[in-house]
Amino acid sequence: MTTDTSVLGLILDASIPVMLVMLLLILASVMSWSIIFAKRRLIRRTKAASDEFEASFWSGGDLNTLYQSATHARGGVVGMASIFEAGFREFNRAMQQSGISADKVVEECRRAMRVAHMREMDRLEQGLATLATIGSTSPYVGLFGTVWGIMNAFIGLSGMQTATLAVVAPPIAEALIATAMGLFAAIPAVIAYNRYADKVVRLEYRYDGFTEEFSSILQRHARNKQGR
């Protein structure tokens, strides 16, 4: 009686628990890659939009013109522009109130920019926790499948009088495939998580710096308008 020792044959001949582990790892890998590609597009788009907005902002143009272009941007306002839009919208609203101090205006603008900042960070960080979970748990899920498969293999061999390598190798090999699939799912997820988490942190630092600088600019504008 011959045994199919190809990878596909070993997978199809595996026990039900090991096959379920393999199916779970395949689903985890598919989910991981979908998050990786989506996150790659999102971070690229956000970084490009922030670079473009920052160049326009520091070119010395009129803030009202910049605000109008940001609010009418195709595809919606994202990245640094969303923080600017929230802060300047609150600035215009606060300046229409009578008897409000410049410090109070800036405080309201900071609050609006913090909300926009948190919204942007939530959008950027979405999916990273899933990548971290897949990267950290997939090897253990695969190891569980391997242990279960090897355990069943030895239980099956216990009833045999003689066990040759040709008999022992296939069930152990099919069990080890689960560990390989766990690593296949985990390694890209870990690499992508570390890479994208670093990019998100860098964008967060840029947002924090812009918020502080823009707050100072708004404070000067508020004092100049109130001093007239």
Compute the C-alpha angle 24/26/27, nearest 5°: 65
Neighbours of 180 (CB within 10 A): 14
Mark the ranges of the chain whose per-residue pLDDT is less than 70: 1-15, 73-75, 156-170, 226-228
pLDDT value for 62: 83
**Is position 2 within any domain?**
no
Residue 1 lies in a domain: no
Give the model's pLDDT for residue 2. Answer: 45
Output DSSP code: residue 14: S
Nearest Cα to 94, choosing from 81, 109, 82? 109
Q: Is residue 64 part of a domain?
A: yes
Whether residue 62 is contained in a domain is answered as: yes
Sequence letter at residue 38: A
Q: How many CA atoms lie within 13 A of 189 on its CB side?
A: 29
**Among 86, 88, 83, 80, residue whose Cα is nearest residue 62:** 88
Environment class of 17 (CB within 10 Å of its CB; exposed 0-12, middle 13-18, buried 19+): middle
Range of the domain at 162: 7-226
Q: Quick one: pLDDT at residue 1?
A: 41
Record the tokens describing residue 134, joined without a space: 């897949």
* Phi and psi, residue 62, nearest 5°: -70, 135
**pLDDT of res. 43:** 94
- Residue whose tokens read 């989910």: 31
pLDDT digits (tens, 9 = 90+) for 165-208: 556 666 777 778 888 889 999 999 999 999 999 999 999 999 99
Kindly report the pTM of this predicted structure.
Answer: 0.81
**Chain centre to alpha carbon of residue 96:** 40
Q: Rounded to whole angstroms, how far apart are CA atoms 174 and 155? A: 15
Residue 101 belongs to some domain of the structure: yes
Contact 202, 134 (CB under 8 A): no
- How many structural domains does the chain have? 1
Encode 18-50: b = buried (16+ Cβ within 10 Å), e = exposed.
bbebbebbeebbebbeebbeebeebbeebbebb
